[in-house]
Amino acid sequence: MAFDFASVSAPFRMQPGLRRLPPGATQLTPNAPGHRALREKLAVLGAYAGQALLCAPGFDPSPALQALSEHAAAEHPEAWSSLGAGHGHARWLGWSVREGQFEPHANAQADIGPCLHALPPPWRLPALLSLAFAEDFAVIDGRTAHIPWLAVCLPSGWAPEEKVGRHFAEVHAPVADNQRLVTASDHLARLVTGDERWSRDVWSITRHPRLHAHPARLDPAPWPATADARTLAERAFFRTEHQTFIPLPGLQQAVFTIHVTLTPLTQALASAAQAQQLHDALASMSDAVLAYRSLTDARGRLLEWLQARAAG
């Protein structure tokens, strides 16, 4: 399911924004060889696996991981198969993992083998799932509202290693204007680990050109001070996250999925109406949100360009 532009609204508010997924809506997006998300995830797992694959002490992710594998196989049998606990076959990528051991197939993508080999055996199946799909994954515990497990290669300006094992409220503590998110944390954790499927969409405008946006590897350079509105817009990207929750009510858990997309801002808007929507949302952001999203110095020029685009 693509990003829902209706999520771009004014006045802008940091809020849960949950919507029920309609029957039949898919939650995963298979990666094919050459896909951008696959390339970036391979690079991250090759260099920074310890910051992407994380588990809180004492937590057993096996039941949730098996449920995710079975969900993937049911939703996209052409791309993934699951033949029991500890087993998964990424059909499009040509690799399988069984009880921590990996095996190539006739269509094996060569650079995946060294990536799996370098990982501890318990992490090979989660890594293959992460490579097989564009989404990142986390497990939410509805009983404690904690996040005990993550496989996140493409974070949006946050460090997964600082979030594992923490309460929902702690995870969102650094977010600007976060009162609604923090207050609703325990309720949200119970809601998304119930029987229904939920989704939400979030967005931002960024100068960073990669899906992988770990704060330790973001370019610290500011927005160019001398660029005019058009030049600035040409250097900007519209970053979106389509987030869903795969409920595991028998476990009182959910698998949280995050599908990141990055589109040049000048190509992201399908109509003058969308340009006006984005203009109005950006114009209504508080100073705290602008600072949190590193947009303070760019907002005036972005608003100028968006207004011109909205005017046709």
Average pLDDT of the chain is 94
Asked if residue 192 lies in contact with residue 247, where contact means CB atoms within 8 angstroms, the answer is yes
Min mean pLDDT across 1-15, 228-242, 295-309 is at 1-15
Asked if residue 19 lies in contact with residue 198, where contact means CB atoms within 8 angstroms, the answer is yes
Q: How confident is the model at residue 1 (pLDDT cuts 50, 70, 90)?
A: low
> What's the pTM value of the predicted model, to 2 decimals?
0.95
Predicted confidence (pLDDT) at residue 42 exceeds the cutoff of 70: yes
Q: Quick: pLDDT tens for 57-71.
A: 999 999 999 999 999
- CA gyration radius, the chain: 20
Domain boundaries, the chain: 27-200+245-264
Q: Is 199 helix (H, G, I), strand (E, B) or coil?
A: strand
pLDDT score for 180: 63
Q: How confident is the model at residue 14 (pLDDT cuts 50, 70, 90)?
A: confident
Predicted confidence (pLDDT) at residue 173 exceeds the cutoff of 70: no
Q: Quick: pLDDT tens for 175-218.
A: 655 566 656 678 888 999 999 999 999 999 999 999 999 999 99
pLDDT score for 6: 92
First vs last C-alpha separation in the chain: 28
